[in-house]
Amino acid sequence: MLSPESKVWIYQSNRRFTEAESEQIQQELQQFVMEWAAHGQHLQAVAQLHYQQFIVFMVDEKAAYAASGCSIDSSVHFLKDVEKRYGVNLFNRLKVAYRDGEEVKTVSQSTFRKLLAEGVVQASTVVFNNLVATKAAFDTQWEVPISESWHKQLL
């Protein structure tokens, strides 16, 4: 089990993965984490696909070695390969993901502002705060109403 202080990285896809893609990607994530190392030492880490759209890496830097520049580079290389093979973009930080009922929707910031102005999206709408940095924050602040997130500046 990872500590609450574990480092978190979230990568949001520009589209939802299909069921088959999701199963394959989750297997690839498990394989990557089994081999993920810093300075030759295995990292205490997990990688998961959430909502068929978010790839989340967590590294417990207290339990073992901290993720180094080289180990982070290897995760980025892995993600670039995922982008290429599945035809997605995982590095566009200008997209906003929010819940519409049980569905996760991803739109540009300008479209999100329009949805706010039209009342389609409101202060109570749940958004995904991909800027959380720790497991504790991920567990409590990743999915929050707009009024409780950095997105509130758009209200």
DSSP-derived 3-state class of residue 112: helix
Residues of the chain with pLDDT under 70: 63-69, 155
Residue 129 CA to residue 150 CA, distance in Å, equals 8
23-65 residue pLDDT tens: 999 999 999 999 987 777 778 899 999 999 999 999 997 765 5
Structure-token match 């290429």, residue found: 84
Q: Name the percent of the chain lying above pLDDT 70.
A: 94
